[in-house]
Structure 1
């Protein structure tokens, strides 16, 4: 591990290692500013908010496990659509998110979770050739395509957002 990476937060390192292990061509970037929201990330990267692949964690009401929805930053996840696909879900608090994923809210990556979540990918991300996802810390991001996202996560693509 290079010296610069060693100085980064644990979640960022975990994501960097997972991406490298899967042969992902883009190492994560550590931004000078925190990007806890899709808008903050888009502003920092100079891209549209829709190109931000935001991670939204729900809690399965039947299994108690994390359900991760990776959605386009300009869309709102529809909890009813998610529940129709995976069973009843509810909102997850910060402690649940940290315990299940190993990441804090604002830095939840679609990969390298402490406990693998049930994952769904928003089909609206496929409007873009290039998207950006969180890399395990509010200052961390990485570039990928929607196709690479499905390959990295093994997750199905679904209609999980409210119509604009």
Structure 2
């Protein structure tokens, strides 16, 4: 576990409070990069895109949810709807996502948000011992075990990603 001095974001503070083992991976975010935030993180961290997960905010039955998928693919909204047991899921309005989570786009973490949203993680996360998720700001990722992420977020798991 990282030291308490590194509780630089609510996500890190939440992991410290939950006594979860993690490693912080800061990198220099390039605002002029043409890469997506997730691809930029994978490239900067020299990590396989299958191990770097992006956190997306979706709306289903007028409720917001977090969908956590590898940056190597994209979110399958029909699969999310099936996993949630609803007819339809759509991407949440970016302003709503930022307001509810307390994080900016490109830095939305599945951990430590302003409001704890129900989360669902792509089942491919369990193909890896460790995965990366946003640390709560652009330029900071957290490496942790998928089971620890599920434990701290109460996330469900389902195949919700599709190839890009």
Shorter-chain TM-score bucket reads 0.7 to 0.9
> Which structure 1 segments of 5+ residues have no match?
7-11
Partner of 2:121: 121
Measured in 2, the distance between the counterparts of 1:95 and 1:73 equals 21
Q: CA deviation at 1:32?
A: 2.2
Partner of 2:112: 112
Greater helix content: 1
2:15 is aligned, of 19, 23, 43, to: 19
Partner of 1:55: 55
Q: CA deviation at 1:18?
A: 0.6
Measured in 1, the distance between the counterparts of 2:9 and 2:160 equals 30
Alignment check: 8 A CA contact 1:122 1:161 kept: yes
Structure 2-normalised TM-score? 0.85
Alignment check: 8 A CA contact 1:16 1:27 kept: no
Measured in 1, the distance between the counterparts of 2:146 and 2:76 equals 20
The runs of 4+ residues in structure 1 deviating greater than 3 Å are: none
Greater strand content: 2
1:66 counterpart SS class? strand
Aligned residues: 155
Per the alignment, do residues 100 and 65 of structure 1 end up closer, same or farther by CA in structure 2, a change over 3 Å counting? farther
> Which structure 2 segments of 5+ residues have no match?
none
Measured in 2, the distance between the counterparts of 1:27 and 1:127 equals 19
Q: Deviations over 1:5-48 (max 9, x none)?
A: 58xxxxx5211211100112225333222585221111111111
Partner of 1:80: 78
